[in-house]
Structure 1
């Protein structure tokens, strides 16, 4: 079986200087230091097996980072962005769960005085808001907004019949989506209700002159200095 030749790595002076700082820097993350060391050893013409033995890494790891640097330079030594597991619940479902927690159980015809996370999970499934949800997930959602319906005193809450449609439009914008189409890099979402107060305000009271005690203290303070 033929042995695949190692990729040739050539560095510029700037790249070599930066890689040395990455490989020997005290504050450099361990993985970044290993990858920079692989590239520096590769520039000396060493084989991947030799580099793997010197760095105590697997030869496949050495081959991967050596090849990625040869094709992409120093930026290729960083981890690629991972999509991760897709969200199981939509922002609208999360918001509806929080809205339900702000209602009294009696309004839903339940013989409960206060909500608990298990009771909310059962009610969300019964209403068809979610297919199935655990009490721990509900507890995590409520913790985001410091909601504790089991400790409530009173609520001022209005349930809008068009809540779902209105909330979906706002939540999609927070997720950088408009009418099902993701926003591009040059498009921005600005929420005016989250801006701080910037309007000019006039003084409610006129500026007062300093009192007699303050006027008498100033000369004494000057003499002390």
Structure 2
């Protein structure tokens, strides 16, 4: 039953109750309608009969936009403002409405109307998302090696029990910001309050090595990053069991300056012959699981950054490492080589579409 049919049915019930001599209050009670509603429709029927139960013609402005106009505005939203000669970084609904009127798409269109049109297609040109083209020619081969290690496989052969996978990196420039007024704890209907102004107490680098399958973290703080600080971390891990007597220990690292390229791999092997350095592809640090741990540290330790000095920063990081290692479980890493192939296929299609659009634009 449609809404119009339901409305007519309720009005008919009011009339039938009234024909039985019931009061407006009783009719409202039995039908669940407001007393004013009962009074209105009872009076309309008394004055006009059955035609009085119909809806009156509404005086609102008729629909003023054609489907083509909405499509033209959506098409405009799908172009960067700079491509149309507009000196904006991105569109807002008011700016799109203004541009549509200047182009003659509509004599007048409100920003709220534009917002409704874009919402129909989930377009949000005022938002942005950062991404990067793949530039590493060996991206798939390098990524596959990392993903295979996460699945405890190396060059098609399962890892032995005495072989380990370490994910390592540096979190640079963790500052000690001493707030000018004490941080206030949350209270009733009030979030934690952190003073905006602060004094600078210096910065340090936090280096961490994460055992992927054992869910154990080994870390240290250094005044800065570099080859020596990174090798200090390696020595800290490789000089303890079970890594000291392991068959092989794989070190997954990104392409940062302290462990970049074949020289870094040779330096690691020279210091520890059973250590193997495995690089992620260029611009693919997201494949390094220690980055997940760093995101946990950022949320749970660093933010909102209210430390008296660097000593307090170091103490907090070490205490958190002990707390984390006491209960940690391996990350549920679900990105596999099959997902990698799907990702690369999507990027290839996106690149091809982008190149085709660029060619069309140049031809035009």
Answer 1 or 2: higher relative contact order, Cα 8 Å, separation at least 6: 2
TM-score tier, shorter chain, comes to: 0.3 to 0.5
| TM-score of the pair, normalised by structure 1 | 0.40
- Structure showing the higher strand proportion among its residues: 2
What's the TM-score, normalizing by structure 2? 0.27
